[in-house]
Amino acid sequence: MRIISYNVNGIRSAINKGLIDWLKTDPADVICLQEIKAAKDNIDFKAVNDLGYEDYWYSAEKKGYSGVAVFTRIKPDRVQYGNNNKVSDDEGRIIQLDFADTRLINAYFPSGTSGDLRQTFKYVWLNEFFIYLSELKKQYSKLILCGDYNIAHRDIDIHDPKGNKKSSGFLPEERAWMDSFFSNGFVDTFRELHSEPHQYSWWSQRFPTVRAQNKGWRIDYINVTDPLKNKLIDAKILADVKHSDHCPVYLEVDLN
């Protein structure tokens, strides 16, 4: 299975910047999108279907906010919308698809950049999601968790670790959550295959030159549970694809 995870920062904006044309190049079998900021009826989803993708949407109740979607050429056996956490589900943060004995989770983790209230919400969300994943692993040994985690894990994953040590997305508590996550049976698939620095998936729009200078953060991931560790084929960050302030991240994994 070839998987893309991509925070499009508004799917209508991304389409206007050529997202559909990029999908025509067959970048993956399953495309997981975050921060779609739209409902299905707001876009020309027929253009997606015409490329052979089935589409599944989980939009936020608040218009123009958050939301996730999955376009897949491999028919899932089951789709679950949300994870029975009302506050998170109201924001359209999680959609889950079963492919045989593997569960794929597309998640848009909260950001804490807007202030203390959302940072506190982020910590609560992270803790509750950790418990949810721990329980889910008892049912599914093979999990794939892709999405915008809104956390850069280590110094190698951010262009200026010293300057950002007090920035949301690189706070000690957030990085400690990632430590616990990876210690609890998950594998950082990109780092499993790539050890080189300066590999980022998001660049701030507040400073127009930072993407050209590659002053970014790696906050987008496709991670898997340990039983899939030896099934990894390829992982990439597609930094040249530009429909958003993020870029797609890619994983190829053998699910047989």
For the stretch 9-35, pLDDT in tens is: 999 999 999 999 999 999 999 999 999
For the stretch 47-100, pLDDT in tens is: 999 999 999 999 999 999 999 999 999 999 999 999 999 999 999 999 999 999
C-beta of residue 148 within 8 angstroms of C-beta of residue 166:
no
How many angstroms separate the CA atoms of 134 and 255, rounded?
A: 21
For the stretch 175-208, pLDDT in tens is: 999 999 999 999 999 999 999 999 999 999 998 8
- Among 162, 160, 249, 170, which Cα is nearest to 213's? 160
Query: For residue 121, what are its two tokens?
Result: 């919400």
- Among 58, 56, 63, 57, which Cα is nearest to 89's? 58
Catalytic residues, by residue number, are 148
pLDDT > 70 fraction of the chain, expressed in percent and rounded: 100
Dihedral sign, CA of 12, 147, 193, 158? positive
CATH of the domain at 132: 3.60.10.10
H/E stretch holding 78: strand 78-81
pLDDT of residue 208: 85
Query: For residue 48, what are its two tokens?
Result: 């997606």
pLDDT > 90 fraction of the chain, expressed in percent and rounded: 98
Question: Given a cut of 90, is residue 250 above it in pLDDT?
Answer: yes
SS3 state at 161: coil
Query: For residue 36, what are its two tokens?
Result: 């779609």
How many angstroms separate the CA atoms of 157 and 122, rounded?
A: 20
**Cβ-count burial of 242 within 10 angstroms (0-12 exposed, 13-18 middle, 19+ buried)?**
middle
Q: Give the total number of structural domains in the chain.
A: 1
| Single-letter amino acid code for the residue at 62 | K
Domain span at residue 21 reads: 2-253
How many angstroms separate the CA atoms of 200 and 67, rounded?
A: 23
Using alpha carbons, list the distances in angstroms from residue 137 to 125, 144, 247. 18, 11, 29
The alpha carbon of 43 is separated from its chain's Cα centroid by a whole number of angstroms, namely 21
Q: What is the mean pLDDT of the chain?
A: 97
